[in-house]
């Protein structure tokens, strides 16, 4: 009947990771029996981020694992840069798998209880995924 993890009508499935938890991404790829994506993420001394995809991902379903653990702002910036690189490389679909940390969840609660209060690192990350046309964002 076919592989239950392969989407019908889309390309190969690849799992990629940012710097937040690469071991988790490797475990997910191994569990699913799919390839772990070849890419390099570097941070320069002035805190600039460089992301390079080392394989052809045109037509590939990309699953990007990047939890929001500390430092949250750096991990969100990495996430947005990686999403942009995957879009420019013509990935078929991008699914972001992110776990909100307790600190971020408490900040969201504070935002909801005070309408004037804003968490700067949280808002661009949430809006950025929509603007870059990410297919799905899971929060589990």
The CATH number of the domain where 66 resides is what?
3.40.50.2020
Q: What is residue 140's predicted lDDT score, i.e. its pLDDT?
A: 57
* 55: DSSP letter: S
pTM of the model: 0.70
**3 state DSSP class of 96:** strand
Q: What is residue 133's predicted lDDT score, i.e. its pLDDT?
A: 62
Query: Is 43 inside any structural domain?
Result: yes
Rounded Cα distance, 41 and 17, in Å: 9
Is the pLDDT at 7 greater than 80? The verdict is: no
Query: Is 65 inside any structural domain?
Result: yes
Query: Is 80 inside any structural domain?
Result: yes
Q: What is residue 47's predicted lDDT score, i.e. its pLDDT?
A: 84
Structural domain count, the chain = 1
* Structure confidence by residue, pLDDT tens digits, 94-109: 988 887 654 544 444 4
Query: Is 81 inside any structural domain?
Result: yes
**What domain range is 88 assigned to?**
13-138
Residue bearing tokens 């600039």: 48
Query: Is 4 inside any structural domain?
Result: no
C-alpha gyration radius of the chain: 16
Average pLDDT over every residue of 25-48: 92
Rounded Cα distance, 22 and 88, in Å: 22
Query: Is 54 inside any structural domain?
Result: yes
């Amino acid at each position: 009947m076919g592989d239950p993890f392969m989407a019908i009508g889309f390309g190969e499935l690849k799992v990629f990771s940012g710097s937040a938890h690469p071991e988790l991404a490797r475990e997910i790829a191994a569990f699913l029996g799919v390839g772990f994506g070849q890419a390099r993420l570097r941070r320069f001394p002035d805190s600039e981020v460089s992301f390079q995809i080392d394989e052809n991902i045109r037509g590939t379903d990309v699953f990007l694992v990047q939890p929001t653990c500390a430092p949250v702002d750096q991990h969100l910036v990495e996430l947005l840069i990686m999403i942009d690189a995957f879009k420019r490389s013509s990935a078929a679909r991008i699914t972001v798998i992110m776990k909100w940390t307790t600190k971020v969840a408490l900040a969201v609660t504070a935002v909801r209880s005070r309408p004037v209060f804003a968490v700067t690192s949280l808002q661009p990350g949430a809006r950025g995924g929509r603007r870059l046309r990410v297919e799905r964002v899971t929060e589990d």
